[in-house]
Amino acid sequence: MKVAVLCHASAGGSGVVATELGLMVARAGHEVHFVGSAQPFRLSGHGGMAGPYFHQVSSFAYALFEQPFPELAAANTLTEVILEHEVELSHAHYAIPHATAAIHAKAITGRSRVMTTLHGTDVTLVGAEPAFRHTTRHAIERSDHVTAVSHFLAQQTQELFGTGREIEVIHNFVDAERFQRIPDPAVRARFAHPDEALLVHVSNFRPVKRVEDVVQVFSRVASEMPARLLMIGDGPDRPRAFELAQQLGIIGRTHFLGSFPDVETVLGISDLFLLPSSKESFGLAALEAMSCEVPVVAARAGGIPEVVENGLTGVLCAVGDVDGMAHAALRILRDRDLYLQMGRAGRQAALTRFHPNLIVPQYLRAYERTITG
């Protein structure tokens, strides 16, 4: 098959999943062309004569236009890729602008069917905005095939847009070879003392991630036992989280690492993962932690319960229940047997429910069905 992949280049979940999937499809012997405004960050170091290939979307500035047109520019570049490389399928990760660009390119060329994967905020945030509601619904209904990363997201999409469009659920996956436990104490010593519990949070620090709750939970844990918190990522709420850590007197034990490229190493030596999000279509970072045998304390929101099994691989609490999350964190960290049991169960889930060998074939079958119509 010849496939074009449209995705965001940032470290967000949709870009990560799209890039990892494209790489695995290429390794399976198919021709893959990434199309975007910048090279996806996890694509760095990959590619070559045998692919996968990257095609950068051109930008254009003109005084008459107050704003750029990313959809039209992407559609134009994708059109060129379709015609030059005879692409059979355009896989758009995110409804706007990627699915709309793919649909536009299909109309121009009369070729390349469109498969759209919904990741969450393209529906719940961008798509819910009145300015994009009709175009998002159009993108969903005009795609030849639509998938979502969780049952929650599929159902919410149908309810939000009042569409009876069939949406296939294909969960995200985790590279269990890359994300696994690191037993070397020397690696862990870079971040914490041997007697300290190491808690971690990974996100884009947007309001829905509730990063101030992370700091509040850690403050309660740190008042009961030696502990450190690693905050990985960046975004608009990072300054507020930093200020709160200062106010609570825990800034010396809270480390903001920014967009840390080696997230698998941090997860591999951590003791607990915190994810108090108010909205989460899936929770990829939680799955990556589980693959590293790290128990998860999270909010019972969105698609998180499809990933984290309450009482088995972690504990789920109500959104905003900082006291409940802190209590759960302390219970897990103080009970060695429970901690190890949850860690092993998380790893087992990564291997038996979310392994690429299980998920990627589902995408390949969806590709074949979409191409053949």
Q: Which three-class secondary structure state does DSSP give residue 227? A: strand
Give the number of other Cβ atoms within 10 Å of residue 51's Cβ: 17
Query: At 70, which helix (H) or strand (E)?
Result: helix 70-85
- Rg (C-alpha) for the chain, rounded Å, is 21
Compute how many other C-beta atoms are within 10 angstroms of the C-beta atom of residue 53: 18
Per residue in 101-123, is it b (16+ CB within 10 Å) or e — as a string?
Answer: bbbbbbeebeebbbbbbbbbbbb
Helices 336-352, 322-334: axis angle to 10 degrees equals 100
How many CA atoms within 13 Å lie on the side-chain side of 356? 18
Note whether 169 and 286 are same-domain residues.
no
**Within this chain, do residues 62 and 166 fall inside the same structural domain, yes or no?**
yes
The pLDDT value given to residue 128: 67
Do 241 and 325 fall into the same domain?
yes
Helices (H), 110-210: 121-124, 133-142, 151-161, 185-188
Q: Are residues 342 and 203 in the same domain?
A: yes
Residue 285, domain member (yes or no) = yes
The CA angle 266-8-210, to the nearest 5 degrees, is 50
Alpha carbon distance 155, 145 (integer Å): 16
Q: Are residues 225 and 305 both part of a single domain?
A: yes
Query: Is the entire prediction scored with pTM above 0.85?
Result: yes
DSSP-derived letter for residue 313 is: T
Identify whether 9 is part of a domain. yes
Whether residue 178 is contained in a domain is answered as no
- What is the full per-residue pLDDT of the chain (373 aa) written as tens digits? 999 999 887 656 777 889 899 999 999 999 999 998 888 766 766 666 667 899 988 876 656 555 567 788 899 999 999 999 999 999 999 888 899 999 999 999 999 999 999 998 777 666 567 778 888 899 999 999 999 999 999 999 999 888 889 999 999 999 999 999 999 999 999 999 999 999 999 999 999 999 999 999 999 999 999 999 999 999 999 999 999 999 999 999 999 999 877 899 999 999 999 999 999 999 999 999 999 999 999 999 999 999 999 999 999 999 999 999 999 999 999 999 999 999 999 999 999 999 999 999 999 999 999 999 8
Residue 179 lies in a domain: no
User: Is 180 inside a domain boundary?
Assistant: no
CA atoms within 13 A on the CB side of 58: 8
Q: Note whether 316 and 363 are same-domain residues.
A: no
CA 352, CA 94: separation in Å to the nearest integer? Answer: 27
Residue 120, phi then psi, degrees to nearest 5: 140, -80
What is the structure's pLDDT at 312?
98
Query: Per the domain annotation, does 303 fall within a domain?
Result: yes
Q: Is the domain of 274 the same as that of 362?
A: no
Domain count, the chain: 2
Separation between Cα atoms, residue 306 and residue 320, nearest integer Å? 20
What is residue 50's predicted lDDT score, i.e. its pLDDT?
Answer: 63
What's the start-to-end Cα distance of the chain, in Å? 14
Contact 169, 366 (CB under 8 A): no
List the one residue out of 85, 116, 84 whose CA is nearest residue 99: 116
Q: What is the pLDDT of residue 368?
A: 97
Q: What is the DSSP letter of 68?
A: -
Same-domain status, 105 and 209: no
Residues 122 and 211 in one domain: no
Q: Which helix (H) or strand (E) holds 264?
A: helix 263-268
Residue 151 lies in a domain: yes
228, part of any domain = yes
Tell whether 307 and 263 lie within a shared domain: yes
Let me know whether 346 and 361 are in one domain: no
Q: Which residues form the domain of 196?
A: 185-352
One domain for residues 359 and 343: no
Sheet strands (E) in the chain: 2-6, 31-36, 53-56, 89-93, 113-118, 145-148, 168-169, 197-202, 227-232, 254-258, 272-275, 296-299, 314-317
CATH number for the domain spanning 261: value is 3.40.50.2000
